[in-house]
Structure 1
Amino acid sequence: MNCMNNLIIEGNITEKPKLETLCNGTKLCSVNIAVSRTCKNSAGDFEEEVSYFDIITYGNMAEVCSANCEKGRGIRVVGRLRQEKWTDGNGKEHSKIVVVAEHIEFKPLIKKPEEDKA
């Protein structure tokens, strides 16, 4: 049985990306995004649901991502999910799910009104 692990996710960058170089020389960039959707709750009122995701990129894409990811900018990510596992200094095991980006589209930057006056 073949398994499928693909996703497309679109959201806004929540903070400055982190670029690092792994011990083998590969570049790695991690960036966090917020994805929001509006839905009706059980009372029939609209409410906003926000989810946060960790995105990682490698190689040339990591360098492009580091240079173009600004807080608030919209991005669309095509990638796959990966579970990361580690043990902390106290021996406690942890895990989290990250999105490994295979393609990223950057939304156009929106100029702020004060930038027009400069």
Structure 2
Amino acid sequence: MRNSVILIGRPGAEPETRTFNDNRIITRFSLAVNETHRNANHEQVKDTQWFNVVAWDKTAERVALAVKKGKRIAIDGALRNNEWTDSNGQRHQSTEIHLNNFILLDWGKEQND
């Protein structure tokens, strides 16, 4: 079995990059993926799912340079579940996609999905 995710979508904001004391680099961005389906009245409905994407080191550097808000990209990565307890003792969970590779799909004007 392999943990693999492939999505096509648009970043909702410019990627944010951070460098740690050990010189590791992380870049994060949110990715909107639109799906359309027909409801009970046969009307077309658009549903947007948001995903948190994380890139490390060389991939993080490439994302920071190339990925732009609203420009369509294809990504390949793996799901990672995170759990932590905050200072108030409240438990939290999140799921992220750890990016392996990406392809820029929009080079010109904005287009509809």
- TM-score, normalised on structure 2? 0.90
Post-superposition CA distance 1:62-97 (Å, at most 9, x none): 011011121111111111100011111211010111
Q: Which residue of 1 aligns with 2:88?
A: 90
Larger of the two Rg values belongs to structure: 1
- Please point out which of 77, 102, 112 is paired with 1:79: 77
Q: State the alpha-carbon separation in 2 of the partners of residues 38 and 111 from structure 1.
A: 22
Note the 1:42-81 alignment, pairs <5 A. Answer: 42-81=40-79
Q: State the alpha-carbon separation in 1 of the partners of residues 109 and 6 from structure 2.
A: 26
Residue 27 (structure 1) shift: 0.6
Q: State the alpha-carbon separation in 2 of the partners of residues 109 and 12 from structure 1.
A: 13
Q: Which residue of 1 aligns with 2:30?
A: 32
AA of the residue aligned to 1:15: A
User: Could you say what secondary structure the match of 1:5 adopts?
Assistant: coil
Residue 17 (structure 1) shift: 0.6
- Structure 1 alignment gaps of length 5 or more: 113-118
RMSD across aligned positions (CA): 1.3
Post-superposition CA distance 1:6-34 (Å, at most 9, x none): 11111001101110113432110001110
AA of the residue aligned to 1:102: N
Q: State the alpha-carbon separation in 2 of the partners of residues 42 and 111 from structure 1.
A: 34
- TM-score, normalised on structure 1? 0.86
Q: State the alpha-carbon separation in 2 of the partners of residues 73 and 9 from structure 1.
A: 14
Identity in percent: 23
Q: State the alpha-carbon separation in 1 of the partners of residues 101 and 58 from structure 2.
A: 11
- Structure 2 alignment gaps of length 5 or more: none
